[in-house]
Chains A and B, each alone.
Chain A
């Protein structure tokens, strides 16, 4: 224990701080290139597959850039005995992070609200009346967190629900937008998220043109919200097509 680790740790932290500040300055400029070479209004390529786990009634795997998520759906199965009778089904959502999902080990536990947000995003799309007295469990596991985690989880969960044969009004697609100064950047990576001025996430059912969940942070003007919402809704409908084609592929293959 002769070595003093603090000097090493300190220099690193100050370096990362400098890097962060540099980035922040960079993002304030009107024109910069994104680290993965995308344009501002270009989403990461979406890779989706059903049937990621065997034990579940339905499951899906999603990979958007570095963000990798597995969602498994169990049920509908009998609700716990302690629960009161319910004429509609129950939805139980849980989002967890693997310990190696973030650059710093175990940082994923910062996202406790994701479970309830996933629940709110999905409950409007599922026809709960079709399975009274029972519960559907949706377990999401983030294998690697690379920004825009929640939208990926929600999209993947709707695919898994469809795979499990749970009745839904429509597929749910979700996209987020980051705001940097005057720029809107769709589908941000985690390093972009760390410096963003504001964020907007939309979850919608494109075929019904309904927004099931919407969150917004940071300072926005109405015009900006308009622009961001349009951008997101457009991306959502395209994402839903990708999800749909994945389902079709799984059904035909």
Chain B
């Protein structure tokens, strides 16, 4: 499989380098060195790709369709590929690519992927197992993650008495890959946990946090909700961080925090009595929870939603979390290879576009899941 991938990638790379022999894509897309942008219709562009040399048809065979918009007039040509989440996206993104500054040749490939965000409640049975407050399972292609959220009463941190606490723990199950056996998954688990904390919980003062920590306080300095977010990677085919972040967003939307009534003790030093209601639940506002978009750099291109095959060939990856205002809420870089600062800025602008789309898809998935839950 990996050799096949390599040939694919080599084919793609050779496409982007116009001095190489064979028919360069730039010439295929726009015969004259003038500005040109494709209408973002996937099928048409797919057919325009097919008459390429055999190396490229290997690319076409592997269910990858291309949409292109380009400008060869630019002196500096950057090329990027986007493997998108849903088939319906290819056109949309290419459209955004068209509307963005046409200073570079851009190709976006859409991979046949589906995004399924279903909200399932884990652990019920009449309070035998005190149930998780919310949970979700997200599948991205062959990647499958489950996130469960549990709220427990706790004490706020003495330095931040007006804030609740949120902890994110990720576990990689050995079912996902044999290398996660024993302690093998620990390194990746902690890396994912920290990356998610950085991307979702915002800065030290709480700015940009997806979860409003001050809403978790019950009595300032005394009682607050501790939110435990547990993620489990059941099946892994790359892009775990994006899938986990999406699952956390869906799970939070499905989370009900019990309503509490507080009886303050007589003296201010007493621990107040807290009465937890088991009927009334408060819902989270999840519109502010950011989504994470990971751009993986393979050769000279960067792709979104990389499969594990693609990740095996990556030089570095940048995970960017984007919220509903299009602001960046966190960023982490993986992989050793260095990146040019301008490339990072370009990645950020791409991640913003992709993030917006992902956000709207997730929101509609959440709404659909909620609607189906209500029907039952």
Contact = CB atoms under 8 A, between A and B. Distances in A.
Contacts of A195: 204-205
A244 B318 CA distance: 29
Contact of A218 (B159, B203, B334, B335): B203
A219 B269 contact: no
Nearest to B337: A124
B327 interface: yes
A26 interface: no
Interface in A174-211: 179, 193-199, 204-205, 208-211
Nearest to A10: B269
A233 interface: yes
Residue from B198, B331, B337, B338 with most neighbouring chain A CB atoms (10 Å): B338
Contact of A211 (B204, B208, B334, B339): B339
Nearest to B321: A216
Contacts of A124: 316, 335-338
A16 B345 contact: no
B312 interface: no
B38 interface: no
A6 interface: yes
A17 B160 CA distance: 8
A197 B348 contact: no
B48 interface: no
A120 B191 CA distance: 11
A120 B319 CA distance: 14
Contacts of B349: 222
A174 B194 CA distance: 20
A113 interface: yes
Contacts of A209: 340-341
B81 to A, nearest CB: 21
Contact of A219 (B161, B329, B336, B345): B329
B159 A214 contact: no
A195 B332 CA distance: 21
Interface in B305-359: 316, 318, 323, 327-341, 344-345, 348-349, 352
Interface in B154-168: 158-159, 161
B336 A120 contact: yes
Nearest to B194: A113
B202 interface: yes
B159 A120 contact: no
Interface string A153-188: 000000000000000000000000001000000000
Interface string A10-39: 100100110010001000000000000000
Contacts of A198: 202-203, 207-208
A124 B338 CA distance: 6
B190 interface: yes
A235 to B, nearest CB: 13
B190 A113 contact: yes
A194 B204 contact: yes
Contacts of A13: 158
Nearest to B187: A116
A210 B333 CA distance: 13
Interface string B248-271: 000000000000000000000100
B183 to A, nearest CB: 13
Interface in A81-138: 112-113, 116, 120, 123-125
Nearest to A195: B205
A225 B159 CA distance: 29
B179 to A, nearest CB: 12
B190 A217 contact: no
B13 to A, nearest CB: 20
A219 B202 contact: yes
A229 interface: yes
A76 to B, nearest CB: 17
B340 to A, nearest CB: 6
Nearest to A208: B338
A220 interface: yes
Interface string B144-177: 0000000000000011010000000000000000
Interface string B180-196: 00000001001100100
A79 interface: no
Contact of A214 (B201, B329, B344): B344
B345 A229 contact: yes
Nearest to A104: B159
Nearest to A24: B205
Given A196-B203, A197-B203, A197-B208, A120 B333 contact: yes
A179 to B, nearest CB: 7
A201 to B, nearest CB: 10
A10 B334 CA distance: 43
A112 to B, nearest CB: 7
4 shortest A-B CB distances, which residue pairs? A219-B208, A210-B338, A218-B203, A216-B331
Given A196-B205, A222-B348, 11 more contacts: A16-B159, A116-B190, A120-B336, A124-B336, A195-B205, A198-B202, A212-B337, A217-B202, A217-B330, A219-B203, A222-B345
Interface of A: 6, 10, 13, 16-17, 20, 24, 112-113, 116, 120, 123-125, 179, 193-199, 204-205, 208-222, 225-226, 229, 233
17 contacts: A17-B159, A20-B159, A124-B337, A179-B203, A196-B204, A197-B207, A205-B338, A212-B338, A216-B198, A216-B328, A217-B208, A217-B329, A218-B205, A219-B207, A219-B208, A225-B345, A233-B341
Interface of B: 158-159, 161, 187, 190-191, 194, 198, 201-205, 207-208, 269, 316, 318, 323, 327-341, 344-345, 348-349, 352
